[in-house]
Structure 1
Amino acid sequence: MSVLAQAVREVQTALERRRVTSATRTTFQAATLLLRDERARVRADETIGETRRAEKQKRLDDVASSLARTAVRDQALMALLGEDAVVTPEARALEREMLQRAGIEPAPVEAPPVEEAPAAPAKPGVVPQSVVSRQMANPFLAPDFSAARPSAARPSRLAGWELLGPLLRSFERAGSGASACMDLPAPISRRAAGGHELMPHQARLVAAAAEGHRTFLLADEPGLGKTAQALLAAEAAKAFPLLVVVPNVVKTNWVREAGLWTPRRKATAIHGNGDSIDGFADIVVVNYEVLDRHVGWLGEFGFRGMVVDEAHFIKNKTSQRSQHVLGLSERIRSFTARPLLMALTGTPLINDIEDFLAIWEFLGWIDDKKPLPDLMDALTATGLTPADPGFSAAARQCVVDLGIVRRRKVDVAADIPPRRIADLPVELDGPTGRSIRAAERDLAQRMVGRYEDAIAARGSGPVDGIDHDLVRRVATWEQKDAASSPNGDNVFSMMRRIGQAKAALAADYAAQLARSAGKVVFFAKHIDVMDAAEETFTKQGVRFSSIRGDQTSTVRQRNIDAFVNDPEVAVAVCSLTAAGVGINLQVASNVVLAELPWTAAEQTQAIDRSHRIGQSMPVTAWRILAAQTIDARIAALIDDKAGLAAVALDGSDEEVGSSTDAQHAALVALLTEALSAGPFGG
């Protein structure tokens, strides 16, 4: 309910400011979809009584009335209320995101049932006319089974062992010096077809592809040129036609990069229904958001290679995007004996070591339950089992040798200047600051009440100290039942309010930086925070470029180019979601984080839009933190979790922060602090 109410307020605010954008319409439609689904769920829920059902229906009706009253003020919004309104992919994606913000896991997209009849199953989505033309021009395109791998592993002494868990733990417990990079050959040449010169670390990966290696988890730190490496590896492996799956924000950039590094290969991007694509192109670039409507013909196109950029996007294997990517990978592997498969991500681990699993499955190293033949053979060859002391290190090396490539800037690009993160605490004064601090106290007190009720329900007498297991459970309840709060305050709404309160302060600091130190990249999570920052820049006469998720690829690229090339454009106002990956903003050496992301990986990705190859100045990321609020606590939690990838991939001895998500950890810390100050503190 709080998420729905927040969405309605967001739309109402946009109407009041007369700034109804496509993002506003997307928010409105997502709220409408969520409301309809929740109404249907409440009606069908047999576990609640009629009184509770009527209460929930009444609250939903109130939100529906508010939506209707809001829509009356804008004809475009009214059209979205119709049952026949076309639901955009962006609205569907936002609806799932809203569910997750409410602590509800969206229902997985069910795979279509297997047809028992011999008739071919219906193909989902659309088939662009140019693809039909290509298929007609190549009617005898045949699968390549010239060196097909065995479909099943040979008998192994490890056949009865559960192996995926030990494989993951082998990375989680990696010791100092256990870097994760396969042996790579010396470069054959550092000159690309377009006349550009590769850095040595890039040329070594291309040489490995030329020598016959075909699967890579390319996990170089952000900013080390993974796009160029992937394109040139495809050229070396003759892996064309090549399918490239990317976030929408970098789709146009991939086509540009293909023209730069592989000028003899035609690249095309799929937009919408694909009406404008070139079906005869060598490189087909598609974004995750439209993959569902093209997955049918893509699976039959005859690709000899597949690249997944920002591969951590597929970590949730129940999501539709992951299922489509994994299905296409399996189809390509069945069609082509030794396709080139590359997963690109500078941040392969977001929250948990399990984030590896979907990537390994995409690469064909494992399936849902066990290692596949190549990995199983390598594990068998060690002569060890999970019960043996040396198995962990040997198993980890087996996975690395299959194609993990991880290089750090400090090791291979020493000429890239250093970076640092500087925290700037700001005081939130006046009614806004007092309101936020009061809301935080109310949230803590609500959790204390739930904790006390749970203790009392046990009936086991006084408790010595704090029950930390119960604290974690209470935090989980709060996440999943935030709407039970009378005022709707929860960790998500508070962080948004803090972002809104900081917006003008952060923008003012960014303007000062722009005047004194040159171009600045300004990151925020929420649209209204970006809007407020842009209003501040406008008032101060600071020219800016806006990079948002609701823009078309053409508009977004035009705005990126304006920031990079126009000396008068001083600030790039960027969405953490839309601009946090895959774009080059190294023209700026100062980054302002007006709002915090939820993970260390997102923070790194944002900063590394500037800290990358081509940067000539030290990069400073200025985190604007609201003092004496949960904002500062979450910053510390993000820093604690930054060691996860370092341990798993870089062989660091740093202590890994909890794999629990930052929202949950923040609630745990908030409740623990409140209990320590009261009678339960011991």
Structure 2
Amino acid sequence: MATPLTPEQRKRMEENRRIAMEKRAAKMALAQSCSSNLNPAAPAFVPKAIPVSSFTGIQHHQSTISKQNGNIGSKKYGAEGFSNKKKDVPNNCWNVMTAPLTGTLSLIARDRFICYIGFNQRLNDIFKSIPGSSFDAHKKKWTFPLDQYETLKKKIEPLAPNITVGNLPKSVLKMFSNPNKVQNDFKSIDISRIEPALFECLFPFQKEGVQFAVSKQGKCLIADEMGLGKTLQALAVADYYHEDWPILVICPSSMRFQWQEEILRYLKKIPSYGIIIVTTSKTILEDPKVVIISYDLVAKLKDALKKLQFGVIICDESHSLKNGKTVRTKSVLEVAKKAKRVILLSGTPALSRPIELYHQFKAIAPNLFPDKVDYGVRYCDGKQDKFGWNDTGSSHLEELKVILEDNVMIRRFKSDVLDQLPSKIRQVVYLNPESLPSTKGLASFEKQLQKEQMDGKEKRKTLLSYYHETGKAKVKGICDYVDQLLEQGKKFLIFAHHRDVLDGICEMLEKKQTYYIRIDGSVQSEDRKCVADQFQELDKFRVAVLSITAAGVGLTLTSAQLVVFAELFWNPGHLLQAEDRAHRIGQKSCVLVQYLIANGTAD
């Protein structure tokens, strides 16, 4: 049953109704007034909206007076004719305005900038009058010499407010307009004091990377594509500054023992006992030459690391510092703050957004972008939205690239240095021993194989069991390494022999929701090409999981430039054939082949 209205509610309803009726009467009176001024003989009507005129030329508009029974007449107005009638029309009835034209300026080279704006003939004439201006036919935009920036701004200024163009940041102008600043010719720097054995291993482009780092006083980001030897370049830079040792290497946990092997191989000055690999927060750091530690353990040993006063710090996979709110990033930045040399290594420094670069810069050039909000507005399309401050976008990326390459970053792709590379590069990757189960069981196989009284058949059986158990023991380490490869966004082939290993890799890929193909003995020979073509032609398939024996011949998989062997095989010929699934006719790049090895196993 409905509740009766109270006298107070009735009174409020009547008052609201009265106010609404008054508003309606006022609107009708206004409409009547407009109609009478335009055509006194015509009945009252509400005029249709007239399209907004453009300052770029004269446009004709048509106003049509409609009646309930249909169209009773129409009248055309040119831009001038409409202007003549404007005095007869009340200002509150018509809204005729000029559409503003806005644009932005952005640096595209050390000495040139570009203007992003729509077409306007008057503006086009100004652009043509600027000395050194050029029309980029590809981008359909005008570019100008940086020294003509003020001239352009002064010529555009009188066109406001109809035409407005944003400014280049003052910091950018100061950085590149300084007449006393000469572009650094780092390629002439002498780096011959590097240990000869290491120096001779460097390709010409790698020597240039070392020279660039030295030109930046050992504080830089080496962002070469995967497979171009960032580790070797970092060790060469560290050797150049050997008077600043000890060295701190911060890397993903799965890469710690790989770094140990590389240091022992190339830095002969460092004995094996001088390297400390931090495996727990209780590891004792006593008079080390080199400390190798994972990102997550830096926070737990931050105070101890600061006391050691490392002169050279290498951060491998530095995109791990993308989030400034994490304890990991804060701790690494604090440890790196007083180091003389900080070398960042990453093939993918910004995995998805420019804001991910910001805290990496803080480690090597804290004054390059002093204000995070300004950086976010300029390069991350930063703005306030309903959820708060949002700097997850991107803007002015060409300008950002110019600034980085001039100040802190060197980046090369395989296509840039293909003439210096061999067609195939092989690399041994040592898996993290912590990812392996106890090797006591594997050691028992090794003891059995050393028995002299074993006959050939029994020895072969033991060896096969040893090989199988090695594969099972390596699965976790293999999956950890594959997870790291997935972050880099590259397509790759991964070969294995045992079903346990193939299954483990596939389970991990499914958990990561990664598209992959699998070719093993269960796939019919007539179906294998069809499956391989999926990987070859569709970008969404990132990984090809392949059996060494079943997929080692007869397939073309040149869409990948990385081949990973999770397991070894008895016959090296099978491995060579498997390598050539990617290294064959149709391959346009250098192929990197990695063999994953685990110490204390059959490998």
The question of a shared fold, defined as TM-score above 0.5 by the shorter chain, is answered with: no
Give TM-score, length-normalised by structure 2.
0.39
Q: Which structure ranks higher in relative contact order (CA pairs < 8 Å, sequence separation ≥ 6)?
A: 1
Q: TM-score, normalised by structure 1?
A: 0.35
Structure ID, larger Rg: 2
> Larger % of helix: which?
1
